[in-house]
């Protein structure tokens, strides 16, 4: 009995990591519950609202153009969650001076990152679905549903969340993070080939977007909702996977070097 009382607490291994992950998941959900509800509303308004706005601006469109907009709306709805809301949640910790407290908790640091990825990736799914349904009803198109939509949305959401997480931790000043996320949002909404074919863009700008993730986010989702709009989607899967892995590596480096 005395030996059991004095035995060291095991703080390694998969069981410890999973237990810490569950604890951080509960911590994220409780700590961010009001913010998460707000983020979901913003996501729905962004996706569904932009669908209506394109209809106002463009007016009557052929069926192919309507289909292109509708199949691009899910990617458009995912942008604010991962690339704006995730950095905003981390900025809140920095502004409230709770940022260092989170890293002082007796859990592996990457469990906090994993919990953030899980919460915001899961949060993105209902908002994306609602935005897609609203756009579909508004433009009256016939979507071709595929099981590939599930991994496409999951990868797209995880990529955006991972990049937003890594970016917010890598930029030490919250004001600069806020400025950068606004630039990203502005570029994605107005200057990215998400609901507009990339062929409509100048060649130099199209080349930039073949490296950036926005175009590829739309491509893998569009391929799972339509026939004939996307010729080859393998490159887009590879690009998004590369962005996700790169964001994880950056996040791991930033988190690991904190004392």
Question: 222 and 84 in contact (C-beta within 8 Å)?
Answer: no
Domain presence at residue 3: no
- The first and second tokens of residue 232, run together, are 């080859």
pLDDT value of residue 99 = 77
Q: What's the rounded Cα separation, in Å, for the pair 104 and 96?
A: 15
Domain presence at residue 116: yes
Domain presence at residue 2: no
pLDDT band of 208, cuts 50, 70, 90: very high
Domain presence at residue 239: yes
The total domain count for the chain is 1
- The first and second tokens of residue 171, run together, are 């930029």
Per-chain mean pLDDT for the chain: 83
Residue 159 pLDDT > 60: yes
Residue bearing tokens 């679905």: 129
Domain presence at residue 8: no
pLDDT value of residue 167 = 86
What are the pLDDT digits (tens) for 9-29? 556 678 888 989 999 999 888
Residue bearing tokens 């937003």: 164
Q: Is 232 or 74 the better-scoring residue by pLDDT?
A: 74
Domain presence at residue 5: no
Residue 153 pLDDT > 50: yes
Domain presence at residue 7: no
Print the domain residue range for 229.
Answer: 14-257
Domain presence at residue 9: no
């Amino acid at each position: 009995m005395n030996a059991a009382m004095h035995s060291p607490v095991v703080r390694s291994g998969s069981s410890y990591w999973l237990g810490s992950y569950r604890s951080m998941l509960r911590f994220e959900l409780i700590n961010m519950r009001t913010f998460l509800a707000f983020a979901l509303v913003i996501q729905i308004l962004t996706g569904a609202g932009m669908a209506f706005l394109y209809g106002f601006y463009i007016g009557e469109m052929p069926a192919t153009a309507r289909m292109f907009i509708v199949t691009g709306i899910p990617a458009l709805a995912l942008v604010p969650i991962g690339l704006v809301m995730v950095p905003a949640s981390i900025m809140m910790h920095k502004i409230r001076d709770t940022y260092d407290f989170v890293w002082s908790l007796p859990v592996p640091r990457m469990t906090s990152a994993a919990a953030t990825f899980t919460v915001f990736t899961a949060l993105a799914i209902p908002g994306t679905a609602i935005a897609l349904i609203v756009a579909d009803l508004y433009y009256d198109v016939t979507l071709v549903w595929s099981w590939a939509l599930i991994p496409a949305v999951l990868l797209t959401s995880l990529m955006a969340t991972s990049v937003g997480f890594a970016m917010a931790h890598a930029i030490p000043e919250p004001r600069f993070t806020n400025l950068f996320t606004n630039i990203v949002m502005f570029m994605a909404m107005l200057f990215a080939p998400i609901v507009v074919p990339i062929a409509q863009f100048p060649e130099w700008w199209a080349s930039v977007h073949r490296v950036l993730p926005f175009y590829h986010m739309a491509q893998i989702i569009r391929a799972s909702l339509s026939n004939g709009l996307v010729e080859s989607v393998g490159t887009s899967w590879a690009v998004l996977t590369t962005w996700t892995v790169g964001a994880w590596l950056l996040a791991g480096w930033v988190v690991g070097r904190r004392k």
